[in-house]
């Protein structure tokens, strides 16, 4: 499998990254281990997790995903062959991430607590890429690329980007973290991280993990240029629009065991124009003789600002289909038709 450089670091990661947020909820430990075994055999050397996982976020399940990865490292012996990414929560009203029931924020005490617990859960003494899951500040909309701006009230005790980077720098110096990244960040926030690292003796972010798919290309409006010029590569999540671009939810279908069927928390993708856009993309895939999921992943992989596309599955056959997209390159005719559909429908699910 092709590998790409992670930011300006010396780390090479596979163009597909195995997302693990179903481990511990929709997938058992044995199923999670089987997915990681298969992905590793197929050339994926990149795993993405978070202290929050599995999804949906619940006090009762928090940390299970990292613990499942930890037992896989212990059993497989593959830790030194894998680039491991995980995340610390940003500011949140959820109060079960810390032992003292503090609401989450990016201060020193909480970040140090989070990284130490993640290291224990993951059964490792270092994290290759430690990411800020979402900003400490209030933003216009989650994901920070809204198609319509809404003013966000400032947080009185907001932790600055400089202070966050200083804390991360200490984690790097301590050997607990190799590199750092951001997630659900805006163009302004990303540039603040970059310029702060240039002005002070703090680590430089290597990546940004944001949503990106054929129904949500808002990353291209401001962040793509930042990504390209500053070497902050995109780690794309939801490139299948949480399953919608596979076609499995078309015409109101609710497959057994699917996330929407179980949790009904996918309103981000449930707009009339999104359904129409999904129909158009699925029709194009059929016309081109392509699997719709593979076309969506291959499209994301083709972007010049893309470092790695995060894939996730609950069933092994889904994972096999997704990983097979690593060998798929879309021709100019298909890429042009994808652009034409986007021109008609736009970003229906930002």
Going from N- to C-terminal start, the domains of the chain cover 3-243+301-328
pLDDT of residue 144: 67
Measured between alpha carbons, how far is 177 from 170 in angstroms, rounded to an integer?
A: 9
Task: Tell me the CATH class for 3-243+301-328.
Answer: alpha beta
pTM: 0.96
- Tell me the residue length of the chain: 350
Can 244 be counted among the known catalytic residues? no
In order of 95, 214, 291, the CA distances from 137 in angstroms are 17, 28, 40
What pLDDT, on a 0 to 100 scale, did the predictor assign at position 140? Answer: 84
Instruction: Encode the chain (350 residues) as per-residue pLDDT tens digits.
Output: 999 999 999 999 999 999 999 999 999 999 999 999 999 999 999 999 999 999 999 999 999 999 999 999 999 999 999 999 999 999 999 999 999 899 999 999 999 999 999 999 999 999 999 999 999 999 988 876 777 888 988 898 999 999 999 999 999 999 999 999 999 999 999 999 999 999 999 999 999 999 999 999 999 999 999 999 999 999 999 999 999 999 998 888 888 888 888 888 777 788 889 999 999 999 999 999 999 999 999 999 999 999 999 999 999 999 999 999 999 999 999 999 999 999 999 999 98
> What is the three-state SS of 52-97?
CCCCCCCCCCCCHHHHHHHHHHHHHCCHHHCEEEEEECCCCCCCCC
The catalytically annotated residue of 38, 53, 126, 244 is 53
> How far from each other are the two terminal CA atoms of the chain, in whole angstroms?
30
Per the structure block, which two tokens stand in for 115?
A: 């990284």
Residues 166 and 216 sit within 8 Å (Cβ to Cβ): no
What pLDDT, on a 0 to 100 scale, did the predictor assign at position 265? 76
């Amino acid at each position: 499998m092709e590998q790409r450089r992670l930011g300006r670091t010396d780390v090479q990661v596979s163009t597909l990254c195995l997302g693990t947020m179903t481990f511990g909820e929709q997938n058992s430990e044995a199923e999670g281990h089987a997915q990681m075994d298969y992905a590793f055999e197929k050339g994926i050397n990149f795993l993405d997790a978070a202290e929050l996982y599995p999804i949906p976020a619940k006090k009762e399940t928090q940390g299970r995903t990292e613990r499942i990865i930890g037992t896989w490292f212990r059993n497989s012996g593959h830790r030194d062959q894998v680039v491991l990414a995980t995340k610390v929560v940003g500011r949140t009203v959820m109060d079960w991430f810390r032992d003292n029931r503090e609401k989450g924020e990016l201060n020193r005490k909480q970040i140090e607590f989070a990284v130490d617990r993640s290291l224990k859960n993951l059964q490792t003494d270092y994290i290759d890429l430690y990411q800020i899951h979402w900003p400490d500040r209030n933003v216009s909309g989650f994901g920070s690329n809204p198609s319509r701006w809404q003013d966000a009230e400032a947080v009185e005790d907001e932790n600055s980007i400089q202070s966050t980077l200083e804390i991360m720098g200490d984690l790097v110096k301590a050997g607990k973290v190799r590199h750092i990244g951001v997630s659900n960040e805006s163009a302004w926030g990303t540039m603040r991280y970059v310029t702060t690292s240039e002005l002070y003796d703090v680590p430089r972010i290597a990546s940004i993990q944001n949503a990106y798919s054929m129904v949500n290309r808002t990353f291209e409006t401001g962040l793509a240029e930042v990504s390209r010029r500053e070497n902050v590569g995109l780690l794309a999540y939801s490139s299948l629009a949480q399953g919608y671009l596979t076609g499995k939810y078309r015409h109101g279908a609710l497959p057994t065991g699917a996330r929407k069927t179980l949790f009904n928390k996918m309103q981000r993708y449930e707009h009339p124009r999104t359904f129409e856009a999904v129909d158009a993309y699925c029709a194009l895939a059929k016309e081109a003789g392509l699997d719709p999921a593979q076309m969506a992943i291959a499209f994301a992989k083709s972007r010049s600002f893309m470092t790695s596309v995060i894939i996730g599955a609950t069933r092994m056959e889904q994972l096999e289909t997704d990983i097979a997209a690593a060998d798929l390159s879309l021709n100019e005719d298909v890429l042009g038709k994808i652009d034409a559909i986007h021109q008609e429908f736009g970003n229906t699910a930002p």
